[in-house]
Amino acid sequence: MEEAFRAGMAKMTKPEKAWIRDREGKEQAILKAAMTVLAERGFSKFGVNAVAKGAGCDKQLIYRYFGGLEGLADKIGEELADWIGREVSPDTRTDSYAETVADLLGKFSEALLANDLVRQIVIWELAESTPITVRLSAARSRALSDWISRTLKTAPSPSPRVDAPAINAILIAGVQHLVLAERSSGSFAGLDLDEAGRRRVRAAIRALCRSAYGEGEI
């Protein structure tokens, strides 16, 4: 029926392509759809069917162009390589280690709060350990540690009497977890994470940095 119709109309209309040939465009569409699905619906909905549907093409193309979900996740990882560098302005003070770390934690918090994709990847890493999450985790933590060392490089060194890497790990983990909790439940440990709560957390972070890294006297 369809063919007969098209054959009949052939003389009055253009050949009417059944689909357009645009590999690069499709690849882009697939990659974008993959990031959108992961960012907006979470890792449990991240699959070939959902991505193909989002990209408006056949799922076979995901296998052909990216080698399946794993290859697609690798590409997302590359895309992630410098996410934080893009989103964060590099205007940190350099006069004191405590203030620099506090600034850094604040910027990190804002960047993570604004980036659905990175948050979902963090959650995915916590929830599962698969080839995909291992790769994504590597890409993300590399981007993060690069950014941190880049930011702290110009700051004065902390006192060797304190274990700065351990303290920073605790503070970064705390900030990261509070951002995740804010997005999911909106509160943590009885503390409402609304605008006022976030302000208190910011102040507490700075107080912790100052007291831990000395220099309490500005």
Partner DNA sequence: AAAAAATATCACCAGTAGGTGATATTTCGC
Partner DNA sequence: GCGAAATATCACCTACTGGTGATATTTTTT
Q: Which is nearer to its own copies, 114 or 196 (CB)?
A: 196
Residues 113-142 that bind its own copies (CB under 8 A): 123, 125-129, 137, 141
Residue 160 interacting entry, from its own copies, DNA, none, C-beta within 5 to 8 Å by type: none
54 contacts 33 by C-beta, under 8 angstroms: yes
Q: Which is nearer to its own copies, 33 or 208 (CB)?
A: 208
**Closest of 128, 69, 98 to residue 212, by C-alpha:** 98
Residues 166-205 that bind its own copies (CB under 8 A): 166-178, 180-181, 184-185, 188-191, 197, 200-201, 203-205
The SS3 assignment for 23 reads: helix
The SS3 assignment for 67 reads: coil
**Contact track, its own copies, 41-60, x by CB under 8 A:** -xxx----------------
Helices (H), the chain: 2-9, 23-41, 48-55, 60-66, 69-80, 83-87, 97-114, 116-127, 131-152, 164-184, 195-212
Q: Which is nearer to its own copies, 9 or 114 (CB)?
A: 114
- Structure tokens belonging to residue 158: 């902390």
Q: How many residues bind its own copies (CB under 8 A)?
A: 48
Question: Which H, E and C letters describe 148-198, residue by residue?
Answer: HHHHHCCCCCCCCCCCHHHHHHHHHHHHHHHHHHHHHCCEECCEECCHHHH
Q: Which is nearer to DNA, 42 or 197 (CB)?
A: 42
Q: Which is nearer to its own copies, 27 or 99 (CB)?
A: 99
**Distance in Å, CB of 58 to DNA, minimum:** 4
| Binding site residues, its own copies, CB under 8 A | 42-44, 123, 125-129, 137, 141, 144-145, 148, 162-163, 165-178, 180-181, 184-185, 188-191, 197, 200-201, 203-205, 207-208, 211-212
